[in-house]
Structure 1
Amino acid sequence: MRLTIRLVLLAIALNAGSFLQAQNKVLIIGIDGCRPDGLLAAKTPNLDKIWENGAYSFSAQTDPISSSGICWTAMLTGVWHEKHNVLTNEYKDPNIGEYPHFYRRVKEQKPDLKLYSIVNWSPIHKILQKGDADIVNYLLSDEKVTQRVVDLLQNDNPDAVFVQLDEVDGAGHRYDYVPESSEYLKAIEKADELVGSMITAIKRRELIKKENWLILVSTDHGGSKKGHGKDIPEHTTIFFIANGNDVQKGKIKQQVNVVDVAVTALEHLGIESEEDWNLDGKVIGIR
């Protein structure tokens, strides 16, 4: 009788332990062409709440070839252009065999995880290989991208979601990337509203108490005079924001780079970067 009681108590303890162990998940939001000084100048209550209660850097650095294809690839592979070999927005001959999208790393070690990439600017997906993501969406507005993300967060069970919003970059190209441009700031403020919708969708998830979400928000490049692509501070200085239970809150004192995003996401998903992957990024902002 005593043995039976002990076994029952042990089973309860084990079940309680597994219940308390939250499942790690990650949401990466990339706001294309959003300069850090523009973000700080705009009215962005949702993003302010994320960085003020998280880890942040407004002096992070992107690839010196500050064009979208090169920089998004750096973010998602964890290596600079010398390795991933994406040198233009045409994505000619990307070296994804040796330096694949970080989703490939995830699938190799945890094939059952559900991974999603939902973007406005579709060339980002040229480095995805078959089986890397459970769903890939090519959508034509940030609003539609957000609607799809919110629906996914409310009605599915994703483990990692990458989101790219494009219209801030469009406003930069059309009006200018400087904080003095009211139209540029309006575009950033609209992006903030969309980010708020995504964060709200996470908070309303039925399983949220059993989940441990890491929110990463960054950008691919800055800009000036309606353009970008130069190795100058206005183009290469970006922001990095991390929010979640495992985040070390406050300003990040060490140098942050765009290649750190993928490596940090991998770490949170329980995948330690292997030495032979030869990644340039590092884990940043989390314990």
Structure 2
Amino acid sequence: MRYLFIKKKFTFWSAVIFVCWTCFCFVQDSLSQVQGVKHVVIIGCDGMSPDGIQKAKTPIIDSLIINGAHTMHARAVMPTSSSPNWSSLIMAAGPEQTGITSNSWRPDKYALEPTAVGPEGIFPTIFGVLREHQPDAVIACFHDWGGIGILLERKAFDVIEDTEGPVNTTQQAINYFKEKQPTLTFIHLDHTDGAGHQYG
């Protein structure tokens, strides 16, 4: 049972890595150069299995897949802990470059030094790159796992909200998007990972 959960988590991270890598390349090349695209929303569900998405009735997710970027065949980085993988997604580099090798990583507490450091003392993120290239961009993050907050270049954001639970996180993101229409929005939901840890 534990192996199956880990295998599914690998596959999920694979899908998310591709989406974020695509978004990173897209952001780096400048949003204004892509015809008709003004807003990018990255939705990450920690621990969600692509197998589950493919088997379940998920019309909204299906629509996002059809109209957005996705893959079911990319791979996670090792180790498959949350911080190394989320940082790889938002930094477009593996732990050997970011220096983020475990969930206990902190900007001032690490075993491996990053190969590059941005203005806030951590490996550069897609958010910092966008801020550098488009200073007027509106950048937002809504998350319900505190570990995400330490991986972010906080000065790159207009808003970062650490909320309680997926419903509150999603609602705050929706409200902010309606009001500000951010250039880049990152929504991180942790409930599937929490369920996996609790129920296996």
What is the TM-score with the length of structure 2 in the denominator? 0.72
**Cα distance change of structure 1 residues 54 and 111 upon mapping to structure 2, 3 Å threshold:** closer
Alpha-carbon shift at residue 130 of structure 1 (Å): 4.1
Q: Aligned ranges for residues 164-203 of structure 1 at < 5 Å?
A: 164-175=188-199
Q: Structure 1: which 5+ runs fail to align? A: 1-20, 176-225, 227-287
Of Structure 1 and Structure 2, which has the larger fraction of its residues in helix? 2
User: Is 2:50 aligned against 1:36?
Assistant: yes
Q: 2: distance between equivalents of 1:53 and 1:22?
A: 14
Alpha-carbon shift at residue 41 of structure 1 (Å): 1.9
Alpha-carbon shift at residue 23 of structure 1 (Å): 5.3
Secondary structure of the residue aligned to 1:106 is helix
**Cα distance change of structure 1 residues 154 and 91 upon mapping to structure 2, 3 Å threshold:** same
User: Is 2:39–2:181's contact at 8 Å kept on the other side of the alignment?
Assistant: no
Q: 1: distance between equivalents of 2:170 and 2:106?
A: 29
Give, as a single letter, the amino acid of the residue that structure 2 aligns with 1:129.
E
Give, as a single letter, the amino acid of the residue that structure 2 aligns with 1:38.
G
Alpha-carbon shift at residue 119 of structure 1 (Å): 0.4
User: Is 2:144–2:164's contact at 8 Å kept on the other side of the alignment?
Assistant: yes
Task: Provide the residue aligned with 1:105 in structure 2.
Answer: 129
Give per-residue Cα distances to partners, 1:137-180, cap 9 Å, x unaligned: 111100000110110121113110000011111111122xxxxx
User: Is 1:100–1:127's contact at 8 Å kept on the other side of the alignment?
Assistant: no
User: Is 2:127–2:153's contact at 8 Å kept on the other side of the alignment?
Assistant: no
1:88 is aligned, of 102, 113, 119, to 102
Kindly indicate whether structure 1 or structure 2 has the higher relative contact order, using CA contacts under 8 Å at least 6 residues apart.
1
Secondary structure of the residue aligned to 1:131 is helix
Give, as a single letter, the amino acid of the residue that structure 2 aligns with 1:33.
G
Q: 2: distance between equivalents of 1:136 and 1:54?
A: 24
1:117 is aligned, of 115, 137, 141, to 141
User: Is 1:67–1:88's contact at 8 Å kept on the other side of the alignment?
Assistant: yes
**Cα distance change of structure 1 residues 54 and 117 upon mapping to structure 2, 3 Å threshold:** closer
Alpha-carbon shift at residue 62 of structure 1 (Å): 1.1
**Percent sequence identity over aligned pairs:** 28
- Deviation beyond 4 Å, 4+ runs, structure 1: none
Give per-residue Cα distances to partners, 1:37-80, cap 9 Å, x unaligned: 12212221111122234453212111121010110000000000
What is the TM-score with the length of structure 1 in the denominator? 0.51
